[in-house]
Structure 1
Amino acid sequence: MTLSSAREAKSTKSKGLPHVRMCRFASSVLDVSSVQRPQNQLAMASVPCDTFHRNIDDIKRSKDDSLVLACNNLCGTKWEGSVRIYAKLEDIPSLEKCVASVNTDSTVTDIVPLNPGRFMLGLDSGGVEMIQLAQEEPHLLDTVFYKRDHDSGVTSLALSPDGRWLASTGWDYAIKVWDMSSMECSKTYVTAHCDAVWKVVFSTDPNVFLSCSKDGKVKSWDMRLSKLATVLADDTCGPTTLDWQPLSASSYAVGQLSGSMVVRDLRQPNQDVLRVELSQRPLRRILFCPETPSLLAVCADDSIVRVVDVLKTEDSIIYNSEEHTDFVRGLCWTGQHTLLSAAWDGRVLQHSVGPSPESGDAPPSAQ
């Protein structure tokens, strides 16, 4: 059984569970009506994690340059999730040098950094959660908001460029849009797709986002319009992930089940601007570099980190590293030519991706 099918099975089992979550401080809850707080009982998000779970599913950089990891334990019948914050790469995976950590109520599938010390989480329980560093106890992370609005696991989160909207997708075929000022779910597209929605990403317009699904479709959504989404593609290869090219009004990339990556333009919906065969296994995450928008980092169901220059029609794969020993799941650009990768081997590696690298070997991981 693949991880996706295992997550689907677990998500199906979770349907019908009570949508209950506890918060440590009532004063910090933005949506009190959605939360029940038993007396004298702390939230799960107030319990530090004393184990470094090796299956890292995501890594993000905050505005203060700290790194936040989604560390999960995907072994056995009971999966566990946690979040860890580190001040710098060299501190990973030390428990002592961890700025703060927290156990979550299920595995963490996606992280969106907000202000320094504050993050949004997408959870396999179907919950969307906001956590922040506790003022009274800086090594703790408090739950500021939690709501289990998806009927099964959350698959991805995306924040609009202006920070006003948060989109969440799930195994329940739905897309939800959250107002970040009130943390109310302002829009719900109940059957956005005919199957699990893998990924959502905003365009440079904060009202427009794209989604891709197990049903094979890539769709464009404009929240200002009452009409249904525009189908951009119906791929037999199956889209698994996507990303919008920074600074572009119309260009985006799609990762496919076949292991291919395609770059497309909204102005030319019926043709691929670029197609690159990257792996014999499904692509899981693709990420454009904000500082160098032509660079696209890619990871698949393998241990390889790849970087593609989308401006090149030939020899477009400019970087290739096989340093990891398990599936790569997290990608994070930290500079114009610096990439971090995180994997199920419990390591975070730094890669120097030059315009014409002489070697694809990444520096050794920080232990």
Structure 2
Amino acid sequence: MHQSHARVDERGSDVTKWEVLGEGGGENWGNLGLRSTSKSLAKSTWGGITDSPGTHTSKVSLVISSQNRVSVYYHRLFNILMANSTEREDHEMDINSPEQAAEMQDVAVSPTMVNRLDTTPCQVDKHLDFVVVNKNGHLLMGSSNLNGRYWGGSLWYYDDAALAPNVEKCLVGYEVGSGVADGVFLDDEKTILIGQDCGSVEFLKISTEENETMMLSVCRVEEHLDAITCVKVTCNRKTALTGSADMSVRTWDCETSVVSRLLSPAHSQQVTGVSPHPSNDQLFLSSGMDGNVLLWDLRCQKPASCVYRDWDDKPECITWISNGNPGSSGEDHFLIGLQSGNVALRCTTNLNHSINTFQAFNRPLYRLMANPTRPSQVAVCANDSKVVVIDIENEEIKHRYEDDRHSDFVRGLTWTDSTSLVTCGWDKSVYIHQL
């Protein structure tokens, strides 16, 4: 027989009585029913819960006040449900043998039963911003959503550059809460550093367990005050460099993931590029929208010296190169990408001498990427759909290769070997170029 309880609130308001039907301690708790004892159900709210005295309730009455006053005792109902559930579980465990109980415990803690959450995004964002390759030939690609409702980004890891940007053929993907401007492999294999449009840098690790590849975030640090424009790692792989639109350059300890040196302001306008020296981890170049290219020596008390200045044709990107002379190291030469589309060859030992200039594009340059096995060969991209490769021979710049398969701006450049160049762009395409 179902019991019901009605109650009038302390203000004397009318109440609407409800009954929750179910057998406490029995098998019917999963079949709780709710029934009204009143025909008029105006806008009403929960009013109270009572139970049969002296027992764990087999019938629970819920009283709903016609006043808009919420006074449900959820914790009381929760305690009633838990008490009956525990009684039933204890009773069921009693009928099992000790061997069965031990077997159930082993299954409960078995690592094979753990289901890992797949964090791979469902699609690649349209704007591909960078590609980098590690020593195993695996490719990391960064993409951003720059014109959608949410400005997010994602990372994609492939065991072969030819598989990008196919979502189904990636080893693992990782969603980022902001656009991804640039990224590098820190240890040339599994550790990654990316710079985001929100000013954060994120350290990630690629690991493989039970034939499953995962990309895990080690830490995310918010140091820059504006979008990060460039990310590089020094020759000893112990220090990373980040340049930002907040006019600063920061050096990072790759082992501790903390800033080891803050250079602010490095330029009087946003930093457009950084380039670590190929053999000295204390030297690097930086370029900015203030028209300056600075040579930094972190061993000095005043580390910066200006090696190039042009306020009319400002530098957009920069890289160290070889001068192409077989008899010299060429490590004092660098290449500047300018807003006019020109590529300028300069030397740190003779600042008054303009070595050579080459017209690569008619639009502002975006990225320069020297071939690691042939430093005198440099890939160039701009605010254009073309890709150009140039050679420096005896301080002369020569056109080597050109391709226009992309249908939007080319943004990412990386060399997989001495003759293979991989590019990506805002047309959501990845191409391999054989020179």
* Common fold: TM-score over 0.5: yes
From 115, 132, 135, the equivalent of 2:205 is 132
Task: Pick closer, same or farther for the CA change 1:225–1:46 going to 2, 3 Å.
Answer: farther
For 2:412 and 2:234, the matched residues in 1 are separated by 20
User: Considering only CA atoms, is the larger Rg found in Structure 1 or Structure 2?
Assistant: 2
Task: Pick closer, same or farther for the CA change 1:105–1:46 going to 2, 3 Å.
Answer: farther
- Listed as ranges, the matches of 1:29-44 within 5 Å are none
Is 1:243 aligned with 2:319? Answer: yes
Whether contact under 8 Å (1:48, 1:140) holds in the other structure is: no
For 1:158 and 1:338, the matched residues in 2 are separated by 21
Query: 3-state DSSP class of the match of 2:162?
Result: helix
Matched letter for residue 301 of structure 1: N
From 270, 274, 278, the equivalent of 2:352 is 270
Query: 3-state DSSP class of the match of 1:132?
Result: strand
For 1:313 and 1:171, the matched residues in 2 are separated by 33
Name 1:165's counterpart in structure 2.
239
Is 1:281 aligned with 2:363? Answer: yes
Q: Figure out how many residues of one structure are paired with residues of the other and give that number.
A: 309
Matched letter for residue 198 of structure 2: S
Name 1:323's counterpart in structure 2.
405
Shift of 1:320: 0.8
Gaps of 5+ in 2: 1-116, 323-328
Please list the CA deviations of residues 12-53 of structure 1 after superposition, one character each: whole Å capped at 9, or x if unmatched: xxxxxxxxxxxxxxxxxxxxxxxxxxxxxxxxx983211111
Name 2:129's counterpart in structure 1.
57
Matched letter for residue 178 of structure 1: W
Query: 3-state DSSP class of the match of 1:316?
Result: strand
Whether contact under 8 Å (1:324, 1:343) holds in the other structure is: yes
Gaps of 5+ in 1: 1-44, 354-367
Task: Pick closer, same or farther for the CA change 1:56–1:161 going to 2, 3 Å.
Answer: same
- What do you get for the CA RMSD once the two structures are aligned? 1.8
Is 1:153 aligned with 2:227? Answer: yes
From 155, 174, 177, the equivalent of 1:105 is 177
When normalised by structure 1's length, the TM-score is 0.80
From 268, 283, 299, the equivalent of 1:194 is 268
Query: 3-state DSSP class of the match of 1:339?
Result: strand
Task: Pick closer, same or farther for the CA change 1:112–1:168 going to 2, 3 Å.
Answer: same
Whether contact under 8 Å (1:308, 1:317) holds in the other structure is: yes
Name 1:342's counterpart in structure 2.
424
When normalised by structure 2's length, the TM-score is 0.68
Task: Pick closer, same or farther for the CA change 1:85–1:289 going to 2, 3 Å.
Answer: same
From 290, 295, 312, the equivalent of 1:220 is 295
Query: 3-state DSSP class of the match of 1:90?
Result: helix
Shift of 1:90: 2.6
Matched letter for residue 118 of structure 1: T
From 217, 228, 235, the equivalent of 1:143 is 217
Task: Pick closer, same or farther for the CA change 1:263–1:97 going to 2, 3 Å.
Answer: same
Between 169-178 and 70-79, the greater mean CA deviation after superposition? 70-79
For 2:161 and 2:261, the matched residues in 1 are separated by 38
Shift of 1:140: 3.1
For 2:148 and 2:428, the matched residues in 1 are separated by 17
Matched letter for residue 243 of structure 1: T
For 1:189 and 1:244, the matched residues in 2 are separated by 21
Name 1:119's counterpart in structure 2.
192
Name 1:32's counterpart in structure 2.
none
Is 1:310 aligned with 2:386? Answer: no
- Of structures 1 and 2, the one scoring higher in RCO (CA 8 A, sep 6+) is 1
Shift of 1:314: 6.6
Is 1:258 aligned with 2:333? Answer: no
Whether contact under 8 Å (2:161, 2:422) holds in the other structure is: no
Matched letter for residue 84 of structure 1: W
Shift of 1:228: 4.2
For 1:170 and 1:339, the matched residues in 2 are separated by 27
Q: Percent identity?
A: 28
Name 2:161's counterpart in structure 1.
89
For 2:252 and 2:237, the matched residues in 1 are separated by 11
For 2:202 and 2:397, the matched residues in 1 are separated by 42
